[in-house]
Amino acid sequence: MLKAQNLVKKFNDNEVLSGISFEIIKGQVLAVIGPSGSGKSTMLRCLNLLERLDGGCVEVEGEVMVRTDDNGNVIYAPEADLRRIRLRFGLVFQNFNLFPHLSVMQNITEAPIRVAGLKPEEAKELALGLLEKMGLSDKAEAYPYQLSGGQSQRVAIARALAMKPDILFFDEPTSALDPELTGEVLKVIRMLAQEHMTMVVVTHEMAFAKEVADRVIFMDKGLIVEEGSPEEIFNNPNNERTKAFLNVLKSY
């Protein structure tokens, strides 16, 4: 479904991504783990066109989103194509990013109406179904300030799902939550995995990644250090850096 090759991203002289390559298969859950500052979130932002790459190629089901020519020039698809490709992606941020002046219902229906062209009554019906799925049927008219962190993140997930994405990206979806609320959000992601939603989850929740992911990528210093099944990464890692990272986590 998505193929990334040799992704490079620099901020001034700091190379944050140093040749990242991986593939995502339809229906697969890919967990991305690694220490803070390893480039995980930057990778997601580049894939979602929130940042522009300095090198590499990204294809979505064979359609080129961005490529690098033989002279090292980074060439993006025309803007109209990029907008269409971007609509195939959903991104859930770690800090929710809900519109504070809009109700939960408005947060979910805004994009389907304005971007996807749904009629208001269709968008409302869709939103109500998603809120029921998230266990938030009673929060449709609430505002973000009236929600807990876990509820806010579930609304953010519903908002992303309302655009019916082919791939859902999560950028550390539980890092802003206390442990009690983390379970609410992880339960929703487990449910989506059981429904074979294609997902890329950047997470610090190792037990969750081991349980839900089909494949795991370990990143460090802008590189993919190791990639494999959860069994391989968590129970029998090959790379010494992966071993050291997981051993530190086990010591807490």
Sheet of strand 29-33, all strands in order from the earlier edge strand to the far edge: 89-92, 167-171, 198-202, 29-33, 215-220, 223-228
CB 104 within 8 A of CB 155: yes
Task: Report residue 113: phi and psi, to 5°.
Answer: -75, -50
Model confidence over 15-50: pLDDT tens digits? 999 999 999 999 999 999 999 889 999 999 999 999
pLDDT(207) > 90? no
- Amino acid 231: pLDDT: 94
- Amino acid 145: pLDDT: 94
Residue where the block lists tokens 């522009």 = 52
Helix (H) or strand (E) holding 56: strand 55-60
Runs of H (alpha helix) within 56-148: 79-86, 104-114, 120-133
Among the residue ranges 56-60, 105-109, 178-182, the one predicted with the least confidence is: 178-182
Distance CA 168, CA 146 (A): 26
Determine the residue type at 158: A
Q: By CB neighbour count within 10 A (0-12 exposed, 13-18 middle, 19+ buried), where does 70 fall?
A: exposed
Residue where the block lists tokens 């059981």 = 194
Task: Report residue 37: phi and psi, to 5°.
Answer: 85, 10
Residue where the block lists tokens 């929740």 = 205
Please work out, in degrees rounded to the nearest 5, the angle formed at the alpha carbon of residue 47 by the alpha carbons of 225 and 59. Answer: 95
Model confidence over 137-189: pLDDT tens digits? 999 999 999 999 899 999 999 999 999 999 999 998 888 778 878 888 888 99
Please work out, in degrees rounded to the nearest 5, the angle formed at the alpha carbon of residue 226 by the alpha carbons of 183 and 248. Answer: 55
Q: Percent of the chain having pLDDT more than 90? A: 81
